[in-house]
Amino acid sequence: MKIDPHNLHRFHGGLHLPGNKEVSLQRPLARVPLPARLFLPLQQHIGTPAEPCVEPGEAVLKGQVLAYAEGYVSVPVHAPTSGTIVEVSEEPVPHPSGLAARCVVLEPDGEDSWLQRPRPGEYRSLNPSALRNRIREAGIVGLGGAGFPSFIKLNPGRRRKVELLVLNGAECEPYITCDDMLMRARPEEIIQGAEIMRHALGAEQCVIGLEDNKPEAAGALREALQQSPDARVQVIAVPARYPAGGEKQLIQVLTGREVPSHGLPLDIGIVCHNVATAAAVFRALVRAEPLIDRIVTVTGAGVKEPRNVEVAIGTPLRDVIEFCGGYSDDVKRLIVGGPMMGFTLDSDQVPVTKTTNCILVAGHAEAPDPLPALPCIRCGACVDVCPANLLPQQLYWYSRARDFEKTQDYHLFDCIECGCCAQVCPSHIPLVQYFRFAKTEIWSQEREKRKADHARQRHEFHLQRLEQEKREREERMRSKKEALEHPPGAGEVADPKKAAIEAALARVRAKQAARDDPRTARESNLRQPDEAPTAGPQVDKTGR
């Protein structure tokens, strides 16, 4: 695949948004000290939650597995530091629903002692499958915000050939600068991670795509590339336009090709990972460090000292904000993620997870109250900006009318929920909310349908079984009737039940005879008290 940095393509729609990025780049990267307690959710990834394998009171070391992966789409959770397990309980976690989830609660002991790790060894000698296993064991998920287990996305499968690995450093949302900071501070980790990933995928080339508003990061990456001339990695700056950092949009800009609707980039021979994921892969393979911390941007008018920080997974948001100077007077919303796609939280007592890329404490001017929505005037501004070429207007009408079949006809599930349409709507209609509502309704309907199908199958089987029993009963009645009408001859066994009773009586008589026999009397006397009561028909002396 030929990528010409001077001949890039465009994606449809998109918006030019004010970046607001300088404010969090003024201070250097710093490490947040460990809090009093770490809360590690068992599910920080798409897929099945991990299963805890530690007990309250147990002492653990840094990097130790606290919960193992359950099923295929799952990764383990590791201890970010040494300490004692307090409990495994339901704790508030950062999620738009505000619900709690199971977490391992860990109390650091201040020693920060590492688990005995094997010497990293030469990762280049590992085959792709072993590489993927190591990446899985390190608990690495997509650090761009989605949290899909990375080892799965590094598996090309038997039938597909991966030509290109794209590393996404675009970071198109306003305010967020964690990837920018990482690219500036540790470019060599990203490049080496890219090489490892390329090897795991069997891809021939790798492109790091970033927006052209990050010249320092591009410079740092290019300098680091000069140190590793063997790396088949290219750094390409794309025009800054939201959402250039969307996986499908970035691929379109770089290669001109479109990921098929309802498909994956793998379908066109491309795999896309975040730059931070690549750095995490480097640490896992070269330093044998599992994923236990990440860089988070803390910004917004509501924070006194906006900056990028390195945080241990499980640190409560409150502690992170305290480290950044605490809250200012102008606090309106606490947003996890960026202003276009982030979700709000009720409280700051939730922990940083593997997918927390930004904590945006928005002030009153930055995040004003939503204005009342007017009716849709069919102006088409939403259609103009949709990067997925959808008709948000039609999706809105049908979602509102709960005509979910029609929404799917208009490709509802191709919506990436970027928020461009809602941002330009003159009637201030919360379009993305309608689409999320429609999607969840459809999923819920599908679940109900599956349950109903299952219940119907069981019911049908139940009826079938009853039918069969009825037939068997009739069969027995019929044969019994026949036996009564035609009594059995001398040698015939008329009724199996009668025969069984005869046989039991015969056994009892034999036993009685043996007891009365003086030769076996002592033996049976000794045996009798130890004998367990028989399960068969209990016949006592009166029943003879």
Partner 1 sequence: MLFVRASSPHLQPINSVALVMRRVMLALIPGVAACLWLFGWGVLVNLALATATALTAEAVMLRLRGRPLGLFLSDGSAVVTALLLALALPALAPWWLTVLATGFAVVVAKHLYGGLGYNPFNPAMVGYVVALISFPLPMTLWVTPDAAVHLDLLQTLAYQLRGVLPGDLSVDAVTAATPLDAIKTQIELRRTLSEIREGGGAFGAFGGVGWEWAGLAFLAGGLWLLYKGVIHWHIPAGMLGGLAGMALLFYLFDSDTYASPMLHLFSGGAMLGAFFIATDPVTASTTDRGRLIYGAGIGVLTYLIRTWGGYPDGVAFAVLLMNMAAPTIDHYTQPRVFGAPGDRRGG
Write out the binding residues for partner 1, residues 316-375 only, by CB under 8 A: 327, 331-335, 337, 339-348, 360, 362, 365-372, 374-375
Q: Which of 390, 396, 399, 439 binds partner 1 (CB under 8 A)?
A: 390
Task: CB nearer to partner 1: give 248 or 294.
Answer: 248
User: 167-206: which residues touch partner 1 (CB under 8 A)?
Assistant: 174
Dihedral of the alpha carbons of 305, 307, 312, 313, in degrees to the nearest 10: 100
Stretch in the footprint of partner 1 (CB under 8 A) among 58-66, 229-237, 383-391, 526-534: 383-391
Q: Which of 381, 396, 438, 439 binds partner 1 (CB under 8 A)?
A: 381
Q: Shortest Cβ distance from residue 6 to partner 1 (Å)?
A: 24
Q: Which of 179, 432, 438, 439 binds partner 1 (CB under 8 A)?
A: 432
494 binds partner 1 (CB under 8 A): no
What letters, b where the CB count within 10 A reaches 16 and e where it falls short, cover 200-218? bbebeebbbbbbebbeebb
97 binds partner 1 (CB under 8 A): no
Query: Hunting for tokens 């219940």 — which residue is that?
Result: 455
Q: Which of 9, 222, 400, 406 binds partner 1 (CB under 8 A)?
A: 406
Q: Shortest Cβ distance from residue 410 to partner 1 (Å)?
A: 6
The interface mask with partner 1, positions 258-277, x = CB under 8 A, is xxxxxx--------------
Classify strands 164-168 and 293-299 as parallel, antiparallel or unpaired: unpaired
Compute CA 85 distance to the chain's CA centroid, rounded to the nearest angstrom.
Answer: 24
Q: Count interface residues toward partner 1 (CB under 8 A).
A: 75
Task: CB nearer to partner 1: give 433 or 464.
Answer: 433
Task: CB nearer to partner 1: give 291 or 395.
Answer: 395
Q: Shortest Cβ distance from residue 447 to partner 1 (Å)?
A: 23
Q: Shortest Cβ distance from residue 405 to partner 1 (Å)?
A: 8
Compute CA 521 distance to the chain's CA centroid, rounded to the nearest angstrom.
Answer: 74
**Token pair belonging to 427:** 């009637």
Q: Which of 33, 56, 380, 488 binds partner 1 (CB under 8 A)?
A: 380
Q: Which of 247, 217, 220, 228 is nearest to 146 (CA)?
A: 247
Terminal Cα-to-Cα distance of the chain (whole angstroms): 95
Q: Shortest Cβ distance from residue 200 to partner 1 (Å)?
A: 26
What letters, b where the CB count within 10 A reaches 16 and e where it falls short, cover 159-181? ebebbbbbbbbbbbbbbbbbbbb
Whether 64 and 74 have beta carbons less than 8 Å apart is answered as no
Q: Which of 109, 204, 414, 495 binds partner 1 (CB under 8 A)?
A: 414
DSSP sequence for 103-169: EEEEEE-S--PBP-PPP---GGGS-HHHHHHHHHHTT-B-TTTT--BHHHHT--TTT----EEEEE-
Q: Shortest Cβ distance from residue 272 to partner 1 (Å)?
A: 14
Q: Shortest Cβ distance from residue 379 to partner 1 (Å)?
A: 4
The count of residues in the chain is 544
Whether 138 and 161 have beta carbons less than 8 Å apart is answered as no
419 binds partner 1 (CB under 8 A): yes
Stretch in the footprint of partner 1 (CB under 8 A) among 148-156, 272-280, 413-421, 463-471: 413-421
Interatomic CA distance for residues 290 and 297, integer angstroms: 21
Task: CB nearer to partner 1: give 196 or 367.
Answer: 367
Interatomic CA distance for residues 496 and 494, integer angstroms: 7
452 binds partner 1 (CB under 8 A): no
Task: CB nearer to partner 1: give 65 or 360.
Answer: 360
247 binds partner 1 (CB under 8 A): no
401 binds partner 1 (CB under 8 A): no
